[in-house]
C-alpha cells in the first residue's frame, strides 16, 4: 500500500506509528539502482518508471502482509491501494518552514498541495488502485492509522476526494 502526499503531510510519522512493515521509495530506489545522481544542489531524483517496471516483476510483499511504501512518489509504483495524506496549506507551510527549507521549495510544495498534489495525479489515472484521502492537519498519526485500518476492513472503497483547499479558501 502506498502512503503518498505532499512533503510534510505526515507520511513518515504515519508509517512509524503503524503496525505494518514499511519501506521508503528512496530505499527501494537505492536497492534497485533507480536513483539518478543529482548535480550540484539538485535534489535526488528517482527513476519511477524503471522502479515501477522492476517492482511489477518478481518483487512483492509477502502474501497476506501489509507493506507500506512511504513517499510522495509511492503512488507511481505498482501497489494494491493508495492512501493520500493532505494538509491544509497554511499548516503545511509552517511544517516545511520548520525543516529550514528554502522559501521557494516551501512555496512550490504548498502550491502542489493547494492544487491537490498526488490526489490530482491519481484522478487522471485510468487504472488507479483503490484510494483514500485523509486530512492530516489536526489528526494524529494514530488516528490516521485507525482510519486506514477501518478502510481496509471495509474493502478499500475508492474515496470521493472531498478535500478542496481552493474551494475552502473562497468567501
What CATH number does the domain containing 102 carry? 3.40.50.300
Q: Does residue 92 fall inside a structural domain?
A: yes
Q: Which residues contact residue 50 at a Cβ distance below 8 angstroms, ignoring those fewer than 6 apart? A: 32, 34
Q: Does residue 170 fall inside a structural domain?
A: no
User: What is the CA 13 to chain-centroid distance, rounded?
Assistant: 12
CA distance to 7, 34, 109, 115, per residue, from 89 (Å): 11, 31, 9, 10
Q: Does residue 20 fall inside a structural domain?
A: yes
Q: Does residue 156 fall inside a structural domain?
A: yes
pLDDT, one tens digit for every residue, the chain (171 residues): 999 999 999 999 999 888 777 889 999 999 999 998 777 767 788 998 999 888 876 555 666 678 899 999 998 888 889 999 999 999 999 999 999 999 999 999 999 999 998 888 888 887 889 999 999 999 999 999 999 999 999 998 887 778 999 877 555
Per the CB < 8 A criterion, the answer to whether 96 and 106 are in contact is yes
Q: Which residues pair with 24 in a beta bridge?
A: 70
Q: Does residue 168 fall inside a structural domain?
A: no
Q: Does residue 151 fall inside a structural domain?
A: yes
- pLDDT for position 162: 83
Helix (H, G, I), strand (E, B), or coil: what is residue 160? coil
- pLDDT for position 170: 54
- HSE at residue 148, side-chain half, CA atoms within 13 A, is 31
Domain extent, residue 110, equals 2-161
Domain count within the chain:
1
Per the CB < 8 A criterion, the answer to whether 133 and 159 are in contact is yes
- pLDDT for position 158: 82
Q: Does residue 167 fall inside a structural domain?
A: no
Query: In 52-75, which positions are buried (b, 16+ CB within 10 angstroms) versus exposed (e)?
Result: bebbeeeeebeeeebebbbbbbbb
pTM, whole model, 2 decimals?
0.88
- pLDDT for position 98: 96
* 58 DSSP assignment: T
Q: Does residue 148 fall inside a structural domain?
A: yes
- pLDDT for position 63: 63
* 76 DSSP assignment: G
Amino acid at each position: 500500500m502506498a502512503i503518498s502526499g505532499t512533503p510534510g503531510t505526515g507520511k513518515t510519522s504515519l508509517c512509524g506509528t503503524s503496525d505494518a512493515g514499511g519501506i521508503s521509495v528512496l530505499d527501494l530506489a537505492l536497492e534497485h539502482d533507480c536513483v539518478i545522481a543529482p548535480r550540484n544542489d539538485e535534489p535526488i531524483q528517482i527513476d519511477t518508471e524503471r522502479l515501477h517496471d522492476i517492482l511489477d516483476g518478481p518483487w512483492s510483499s509477502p502474501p497476506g502482509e501489509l507493506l507500506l511504501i512511504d513517499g510522495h512518489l509511492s503512488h507511481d509504483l505498482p501497489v494494491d491501494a493508495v492512501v493520500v495524506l493532505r494538509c491544509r496549506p497554511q499548516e503545511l507551510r509552517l511544517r516545511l518552514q520548520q525543516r529550514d527549507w528554502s522559501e521557494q521549495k516551501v512555496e512550490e510544495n504548498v502550491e502542489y498541495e493547494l492544487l491537490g498534489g498526488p490526489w490530482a495525479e491519481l484522478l487522471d489515472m485510468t487504472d488507479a488502485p483503490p484510494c483514500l484521502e485523509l486530512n492530516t492537519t489536526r489528526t494524529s498519526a494514530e488516528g490516521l492509522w485507525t482510519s486506514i485500518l477501518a478502510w481496509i476492513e471495509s474493502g478499500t472503497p475508492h474515496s470521493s476526494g472531498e478535500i478542496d483547499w481552493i474551494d475552502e479558501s473562497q468567501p
